[in-house]
Chains A and B, each alone.
Chain A
């Protein structure tokens, strides 16, 4: 998926992430966005691509992703076979920002292809064509991953990580997150505040077997359901608790927390 982003994506900066990214961009250094899901990594990058006026090509990585999926493959057209660039190759040629989202989900033999792009060589070998292409001066590689508990086995090797500028993302501070929820979900301030305060507590449970803690995205969903007329606690249950865990005690604990902020009438 490649696009020039025309409209400014709303992004609420939390610290100096914009400055850091600009610096990395100025030297075309590859960037790694680390942080839990739904904390604004993708949104941030969309915003930066808009600022830099570069197309953004996003690949959502998964277990079955192959290197052909990234680099390209032959296709049949009429009687002939034609080569079609994969998204990575396309970005390398066009000078786009290529975003490999959740890179650890892909197998390591798939992701080795990015190595030569991450050092000073900045080139991409295309085995099937027997060639190597040099990256466009504006090409930039960005990866994201979530250093959580369930990715322990899929963690990137330290030697791979060291090729990137690492930017840590966490859930934004309460006032910022409240503003995000208000803006994105269109929810009133008091309920947005309550959602964020509850999430702050719920996030303390992160070591307790939760695959993911309550994300900003989940708060926005809950807010959206409230705006759509759902009763508050029910909205929290549907958008936050149910998707987060099947563990009955954890659910009960989460429900108890959200109930404190959204008492049933």
Chain B
């Protein structure tokens, strides 16, 4: 060791113990390259260390690896000096040292030079961008197309930098876009993004983050493959048919792993990707995921048993009460993905076989799709082939005995886990990365533990349906009321209601519904008795009514938004026109005659004959001998009663669409359709806070016209307070009795269970009262029908409204078109 070398080492040690030690430890890898090289090496290390401690440490730690990968110091030593030219580049350097050796090994000297050059260009320009670049995992960055791919990916970034778009933002988006629609797609996306960026910075960033609607619709435009959006309802229907499950379908992630998009579930909803390769694969994905749900991959007891297998009594829950899977795989450390993959192989085999028993030919379809798709490249192939072979072996009855064990109909996920453990001990399946894992699944299959899940109740344990009379089942009061606690101020939707309705701040009651402030003053109602209209309420605990317990007040809605109403009308122009056309097409049948009228356009022959005969027989028959042709043959009156409680302000999933947005549209379309039909109708909203403040908001009374005012009220609709549905139904019944009609329909639109602040957390209480209110209405000749957006509606709506008197619409987006349609169907055509 030369004096110069020793001097630097001592210098380093004097500065920092760590520096000295690390340098000494790194030196042996460099020493064989000669004295001059060692000196150069140490000088650079020292400079880096003085520049930034972390950079220096990373340098010494990476040395052995780098020397081996590059077979020397060139060019990486020089490259690393470039980071010294700017302040604050240490994060970039650390990324560089962590990855350069891999780049050199995977993409050669040329690839490494390119990788460095493209990133180094940003050192002067924008340090954070350089850091984002060098820290980006290189396998992700290069993708499948090597150096040309990298060049192409980065190509648009330069000009975007002039629009002050950071490379980090660009890369995150660009890599997703590349995964979705290839490098050509990236170029086009970036070109349009530049225009958007020029138009406004925030809008532009949202585009590049793929957060804006315009970015999403762009992707949909250029995306190859089968578009899922327009077929969601079909998939939902098929899922329901095959599994009996009625789950909401939500928009899945845009990010694709390894160029594939997966259908995922959290046990409550399905997350649907924007596109899938083709219709068959999409169908298989729904069937396969449906099989996991139907055959208890996410069932509570099974999951508990599964965690018990690894000695955990309770699976860990996240703040949303979802089960997180990690601990199950944690014991495998580095080999986690590999074990998880093997477990998926076994569990997928189990549920596929179970489904195949119900759905003839299902496994053949998967095998056919798997062959068509072909083996993926790389290590993923081993898993893909294995999964395919399991299915083929099953078809031919050749499964090994341990696997065959999984094909018993009683086999559960715990059995799959045990088989997986045994397999893991003996298999030669190779380790794999996340990107490779994505390619390893058969068509329609996907990581089973992709998301934390809400554990499900045992499938098929709900037993036979109970008729209206019986008490509510256990399901009736387990769940928390739909209103979730609101933050005190700021984003509390209750605060949006006009100040005169509520004053002061509220506390909280046990249930978790925010306690509203007391109402100041009374008599601000539209009209009606002082203190509101009194109604009785059913108390199931005492099996008797509490007389005059609920008080209903009619209030005016104050917020109007005409512009919004117009905007909605424009948005739903197509739907509205289709609706009107359908109604007009129905008109001729609806003109069918009403017989035995006292007046009319033409004689009713049969009635006239009867009249004459009875007259001759010496009786005095009524002279109802005419036929009328009137458009309103059915003579139905309808009152639409919408639940305006707080929960409608919530977003549906993370779709960015609030319930209220679709509610407004639905109610507007309903109004327009009713105008066309000509039936007498009224539209009311309701909310409540305590039994003595049930609020009814007339939007259009029977006697009002459906005009700009009513539309503006609908445009400005917002949520507030809770849902005391029984009282609202009783009041609506009273209103309906005043309208002259043969048939009266009370159409209730809701998104959850009846609940109020003073129900003491007993969900059953107001449900039972609502059930009684529905029966009372029926005795008055008023038929109640509930359209609910609550996916759990099937648990209580049959008891409350009766079999066939409710409809669950788990797809919020379908509400606007469906509401008028459901009404027309209920009313009956011609």
Contacts and interface: CB of A to CB of B under 8 A. Distances in A.
Partners in one complex: yes
A205 B241 contact: yes
B359 A205 contact: no
B740 interface: no
Given A81-B614, A150-B826, A249-B234, 20 more contacts: A73-B613, A74-B610, A81-B617, A147-B803, A147-B804, A152-B805, A153-B636, A153-B826, A155-B778, A205-B237, A205-B241, A207-B246, A207-B808, A208-B237, A208-B240, A209-B807, A209-B821, A250-B237, A256-B234, A260-B360
Nearest to B614: A74
14 contacts: A66-B596, A68-B610, A74-B610, A75-B613, A107-B742, A149-B826, A153-B826, A157-B778, A207-B806, A207-B808, A209-B825, A257-B241, A260-B359, A260-B362
A261 interface: yes
A204 B808 CA distance: 13
Given A158-B775, A253-B241, A73 B283 contact: no
A252 interface: yes
A205 B781 contact: no
B238 interface: yes
Nearest to A76: B613
A252 B745 contact: no
Contact of A153 (B794, B807, B828): B828
A159 interface: yes
Interface string B796-830: 00000011111110000000001001100111100
B520 to A, nearest CB: 41
Interface in A193-246: 194, 201-202, 204-205, 207-209, 211
Interface string B695-739: 000000000000000000000000000000000000000000000
A173 interface: no
Most chain A CB within 10 A, of B241, B243, B244, is at B241
Contact of A149 (B361, B619, B804, B818): B804
Nearest to A248: B234
Nearest to A206: B804
Interface string B233-249: 11001101111101000
A43 interface: no
A64 interface: yes
Nearest to B830: A63
A148 interface: yes
B616 interface: yes
Given A66-B596, A257-B238, A260-B361, A249 B825 contact: no
Interface string A161-203: 0000000000000000000000000000000001000000110
Nearest to B780: A157
Contacts of A151: 804
A128 interface: yes
Contact of B234 (A201, A204, A252): A252
Most chain A CB within 10 A, of B237, B238, B283, is at B237
Interface in B219-255: 233-234, 237-238, 240-244, 246
B176 interface: no
B575 to A, nearest CB: 15
Contacts of A159: 779
A142 B571 CA distance: 52
A66 B596 CA distance: 10
B237 A152 contact: no
Contacts of A257: 238, 241-242
Interface in A61-104: 64, 66, 68, 73-76, 81
Nearest to B633: A63
Contact of A64 (B233, B595, B807): B595
B237 A253 contact: yes
A33 to B, nearest CB: 15
B783 interface: yes
A202 B619 contact: no
Contacts of A249: 233-234, 237
Contact of A256 (B240, B283, B614, B803): B283
A153 B585 CA distance: 23
A263 interface: yes
Nearest to B469: A158
A74 B613 contact: yes
Interface string A1-36: 000000000000000000000000000000000000
Most chain A CB within 10 A, of B233, B779, B827, is at B233
Given A81-B613, A207-B246, A152 B804 contact: yes
Contact of B617 (A74, A148, A252): A74
Interface of B: 233-234, 237-238, 240-244, 246, 283, 358-362, 595-596, 610, 613-614, 616-617, 619, 636, 742-743, 745, 775, 778-779, 781, 783, 785, 794, 802-808, 818, 821-822, 825-828
Contact of B826 (A152, A205, A263): A152
B778 A202 contact: no
Contacts of B360: 194, 260-261
A148 B614 CA distance: 40
Contacts of B805: 149, 152
Nearest to A211: B825
Contacts of A157: 778-779, 781
A131 to B, nearest CB: 13
A209 B822 contact: yes
B241 A201 contact: yes
Contacts of A158: 775, 778-779
Contacts of A205: 237, 240-241
A101 to B, nearest CB: 18
A171 to B, nearest CB: 14
Most chain A CB within 10 A, of B234, B616, B619, B804, is at B804
A226 B665 CA distance: 46
B681 to A, nearest CB: 14
Given A153-B826, A158-B779, A207-B246, A148 B241 contact: no
B598 to A, nearest CB: 15
Given A149-B825, A152-B785, A209-B822, A256 B613 contact: no
Contacts of B237: 205, 208, 249-250, 253
A204 B290 CA distance: 14
Contacts of B827: 153
Contacts of B243: 204
A253 B240 CA distance: 10
A64 B818 CA distance: 30
A81 B804 contact: no
A250 B241 CA distance: 11
Contacts of A68: 610
A263 B743 CA distance: 46
Contacts of B283: 256
A258 B287 CA distance: 15
Nearest to A107: B742
A161 to B, nearest CB: 10
A128 B238 contact: no
Interface string A37-80: 00000000000000000000000000010101000011110000
A36 to B, nearest CB: 10
Nearest to B825: A150
A203 to B, nearest CB: 8
Nearest to A147: B804
A204 B241 contact: yes
B451 to A, nearest CB: 25
B560 to A, nearest CB: 33
